[in-house]
Amino acid sequence: MKNLLPDAAAFRLTGRVWVEGATERFLGIGRLELLEHIQATGSISKAAVAMGMSYKRAWDLVQSLNAQAARPLVATQTGGKSGGGTVVTPEGEQALAEFRGIQARFQEFLAEETRRLRE
Amino acid sequence: MKNLLPDAAAFRLTGRVWVEGATERFLGIGRLELLEHIQATGSISKAAVAMGMSYKRAWDLVQSLNAQAARPLVATQTGGKSGGGTVVTPEGEQALAEFRGIQARFQEFLAEETRRLRE
DNA sequence: ATGGGTTATGTTTGGGCAAACATAACGGTG
DNA sequence: CACCGTTATGTTTGCCCAAACATAACCCAT
């Protein structure tokens, strides 16, 4: 590819991957980061603020996630002390760990292919 | 991941990759297919019809492609016998071949990771 | 010199999707 | 029992990007 490009160093292979269910998306990098923020803050609303997205959007993503999993990846509680909260379940942590692995290997793939297209 | 999913066989890893330049997208699966149709038909307009996209969109993609490459990947001719036409240059064929390779290796990556998340 | 099929290019319309907005429900706490 | 912060959920607005529409330019053939 190098000889086709005016500045090969400015080009790179990039992309996205996600786990897809029967009909809709299940888990990608966006949802992964959302889970991480929920884990860090214990709240969907705080996670949404941290990521600069609306609470509704974050909540919808959580719904989609839980609806497709055999058991909930996050557990929410409404009302009560400090209004409620949300925690990532052990299942959620496992999904987190597995997708982090996929993501890391994907980044390695992209880096390798970028090297190849520059040589 | 298997134990987290109600029907592991219905889930798979999927995704997209593309070569990105300094500012804009350079070459992805859509443009690849467009090049292939241009090669097969010798015409941007016929390729557009075959792919179910507007001529303008196809033409814009060709512009973007040629503008970013050191030398044109497709050569167009206006007017003349049968109104004109478009051919894929040797540089275009090389880009085609290289991106097909990337795409094939990417599909292999996805298949491997899908196997992994089902086990 | 007219017609035909293609490339070339600007303008307008439309549709889908995310953001924004608006409320209700919840349940400890003081 | 009123309050607070959070979850829960429906409705409306806005925006971006693609599709659709509209024309011009080109040049060989007849």
Tell me whether residue B33 is in a domain.
Answer: yes
| Digit-coded pLDDT (tens) for A3-16 | 999 999 999 999 99
B81 domain residue, yes or no: yes
Scan for tokens 């520059």, then name that residue: A118
Confidence of residue A2 (pLDDT cuts 50, 70, 90): confident
Range of the domain at B91: 17-118
Asked if residue B78 belongs to a domain, the reply is: yes
Residue with the larger pLDDT of the pair B15 and A2: B15
Name all protein residues with C-beta less than 7 A from any atom of nucleic acid chain D. A 43-46, 55-56, 59-60, 62-63, 76-80, 82-86; B 53-57, 78-81, 83-84
Confidence of residue B119 (pLDDT cuts 50, 70, 90): confident
> How much of chain A exceeds pLDDT 70, in percent?
100
- A17 → chain B, closest CA residue: B15
Residue A22: its pLDDT value, please? 86
B7 belongs to a structural domain? no
Across chain B, mean pLDDT equals 94
pLDDT digits (tens, 9 = 90+) for A80-106: 888 889 999 999 999 999 999 999 999
- Residue B41, pLDDT score: 94
Q: How confident is the model at residue B46 (pLDDT cuts 50, 70, 90)?
A: very high
| Closest in A1, A26, A105 to B11, CB measured | A26
The answer to whether position B3 is within a domain reads: no
Is B23's pLDDT higher than 90?
no
Q: Using a CB-CB distance cutoff of 8 angstroms, which residues of chain B are in contact with residue A16?
A: 15-16
CA distance A63 to chain B (A): 15
Q: How far apart are CA A82 and CA A74, in angstroms?
A: 18
Q: A108: pLDDT confidence band, cut at 50, 70 and 90? A: very high
Number of domains in chain A: 1
Would residue B5 count as lying in a domain?
no
Sequence letter at residue B119: E
pLDDT tens digits, one per residue of A26-71: 999 999 999 999 999 999 999 999 999 999 999 999 999 999 999 9
Percentage of chain B beyond pLDDT 70 is 100
For residue A15, the chain B residue with the least C-alpha distance is B17
B residues 28-67 lying closer than 8 A (beta carbon) to A: none
With CA atoms as reference, report the closest residue to B72 among B51, B97, B103, B95: B95
**Residue B11 domain-assigned?**
no
**Gap between the Cα atoms of B8 and A18, Å rounded:** 15
* Contact with chain B for residue A97, Cβ under 8 A: no
Q: What is the pLDDT of residues B47-69, one digit of tens each?
A: 999 999 999 999 999 999 999 99
Nearest-CA neighbor of B57 among B90, B31, B86? B31
Residue A39, domain CATH: 1.10.10.10
Q: Quick check: B111 pLDDT over 90?
A: yes
Two structure tokens written together for B116 = 């992994």
Question: Residue B73, by phi and psi: left (phi above 0), alpha (psi -120 to 50) or beta?
Answer: alpha
**Beta strand spans in chain B (E):** 12-20, 25-27, 74-78, 84-88
